[in-house]
Structure formats: C-alpha cells, structure tokens
Amino acid sequence: MATILIVSPNDDEPKKYARYYLHIFAEKASRKGHFVVFLREPLLSNFEEAVIKYDPGLVILNGHGGRKGITGLDSHVILGVKSYDPELRLRIIAQNPELMKGRIVYLLSCFTAKELAPRLVDYGAIAVAGYASSFIFLSTNSPEQNRQSRNFFTAAMQLPLYLLEGENFGVGCRVVKNAFLKYVEEAEERRDFFTAKYFWHDYLNFKAFGNMRASL
C-alpha cells in the first residue's frame, strides 16, 4: 500500500471544484487501504513538513500554476524553481524541486507542464504529469450539482485512479488522453462544438514526463 499526499486548497471557485473531486478520490484510495494525507490549507511550511514526515509515493497538487511553480493557499508558492513566473506574475526567490525526488507527481494545475514538470524529473522525481496550458473545465452551480464539470474531472482523474488499480504511470496517462478524446467525440456528435473545443484543449495540453513504467 502507498502513502498519498493530496494538496487541495479551496479558497476560490476553481479550487473548490478540484477539492470536490480530489476528496472523492481520497475516499476511494483510503477504502483500498492506502494511507492518504489531505492537506487542505497548504503553505510552503506545512507542505514541506508533510512531504518530509509522511514520505509519500504519490503527490497530487492542485492550485494555481505557472511554468515555474504551483501555489497553495492565497497564492503562496509551495513547489517551484527559482525564477520569475509570468503566469503567476511573481518571482520565486527560493526553490524546492528536490522534494519530489523518488515520487510520482500529478500537477492538476495550469501551465505546470511547460517547465516545472520536466524540471522535477531532472531533480529526481520518478514521473510527473501536468498541463502545458490552462486546465479548462466548464461549470455552473456547485461542484456537487454540476454536470458540466464532471466529465472534465472524470478524464483528469483517470491517472491517479489507474495507479490505485496497480497500473503503471504510462497506462494512466494514456487513459487520461483517451478519456478527453472520448468526450470530444461525444460533444461533437451532439453538435456541442463549444464544449468539444475545451476537451480538445485539455487533451492537447496534458503532458507526462519520466518513467512511464512507474507504479505505486
């Protein structure tokens, strides 16, 4: 069984949607016997403490992302490399990519696959997935009632779900891509080209790096 660290603040609307689906995943992982640490108010200090204390094999991070870093609560960068980040519009003055050494990492966040994801592999992460541009989903009402958002997150969450089933990282990534394509085709069949273009966008921008054979 694996230790899984999930980082999921909910201090704005997009993060609330991710929190809802990540919580469902956490419950499933716990039922399967995995030890899940759910960090709800992540700052740099408690994120680093959680990584060191629990030594997770899988780390899933949601927050606002840029090419150099990803934020936790209130725009605090919790994982990144030292540089100016144009998407986050801030300068990261310290870096900590070595924290992900020996781990599988899923950056469920915009722009993080532009540079951060491959840099984490350079610093020893086993495998990393993320999005090279915005991760887009459609939404109305609340996460619990929202059918528009469901398929976007259903596709995105296939990677960690397949890891729970004992499949390797590469298989999980292929299923994510295939799920986005499936929803593109379904939207086009009902002539909902507005929705189809956003599934296609997420399909194109989901990227994976590192050891595709890695598993929990």
Which CATH number fits the domain that encloses residue 185?
3.40.50.1460
Top-confidence range, 2-6, 72-76, 143-147: 2-6
pTM: 0.96
| Digit-coded pLDDT (tens) for 6-35 | 999 999 988 999 999 999 999 999 999 999
With both helix axes pointing from N to C terminus, report the angle between 193-205 and 147-156 in degrees, rounded to the nearest 10: 20
Asked if residue 97 is part of any domain, the answer here is yes
Residue position matching structure tokens 């495998």: 127
Asked if residue 216 is part of any domain, the answer here is no
| Digit-coded pLDDT (tens) for 148-203 | 789 999 999 999 999 999 999 999 999 999 999 999 999 999 999 999 999 999 99
Asked if residue 103 is part of any domain, the answer here is yes
pLDDT band at residue 145, thresholds of 50, 70 and 90?
low
Number of structural domains in the chain = 1
Asked if residue 94 is part of any domain, the answer here is yes
Asked if residue 153 is part of any domain, the answer here is yes
Asked if residue 215 is part of any domain, the answer here is no
Kindly report the three-state secondary structure assignment for every residue of 11-54.
Answer: CCHHHHHHHHHHHHHHHHHHHCCCEEEEECCCCHHHHHHHHHHH
What pLDDT is recorded for position 140?
74
Structural domain span for residue 64:
3-210
Q: Which helix (H) or strand (E) holds 87?
A: none
CA angle, 145 as apex, 9 and 199 as ends, to 5°? 75
Asked if residue 203 is part of any domain, the answer here is yes
